Structure formats: structure tokens, C-alpha cells
């Protein structure tokens, strides 16, 4: 993750889903994971959500 703000409640970590610039962005607004490191890869994230925190791409 490149200098993105991360929000947490101590158990869950959330950051804005800005995509990586290769055109493969799926329209998600937030990335959710159990650690900051896990936010960096699709395989380790808990979910990608829309603006209302509804899971997408499940």
C-alpha cells in the first residue's frame, strides 16, 4: 500500500480501494482486512466493498 490512510477499530483495517492503474479495478470503494499487510493483496483481504460497506466481487 502506497501512503494510503488506514482506518481501524483494532481488529479490522479499512483503506480506500483506488486500484493499481492497470484497468482491472472492479469498482470497489473500500478494502477490508485483518491486518495492514493483508490490505495489499486480493488473496489476503477479508472483503472489497462499495461505499455502504456491502461486499462486492464475492
What is the pTM for the complete model shown? 0.78
Boundaries of every domain in the chain: 6-51
Maximum mean pLDDT: which of 1-10, 25-34, 35-44? 35-44
CA atoms within 13 Å, Cβ hemisphere of 16: 5
Q: Taking residues 12-21, report their average pLDDT.
A: 84
pLDDT of residue 15 exceeding 90, the answer is yes
Question: Strand order in 55-56's β-sheet?
Answer: 6-8, 13-16, 30-33, 47-49, 55-56
Check pLDDT > 60 for residue 23.
no
Q: How many residues does the chain have?
A: 58
pLDDT score, position 20: 65
For 16, the 3-state DSSP assignment is strand
Amino acid at each position: 500500500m502506497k501512503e494510503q490512510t488506514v482506518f481501524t477499530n483494532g481488529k479490522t483495517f479499512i483503506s480506500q480501494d483506488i486500484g493499481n492503474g492497470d484497468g482491472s479495478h472492479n469498482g470497489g470503494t473500500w478494502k477490508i482486512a485483518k491486518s495492514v499487510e493483508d490490505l495489499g493483496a486480493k488473496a489476503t483481504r477479508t472483503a472489497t466493498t462499495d461505499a455502504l460497506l456491502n461486499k462486492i466481487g464475492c
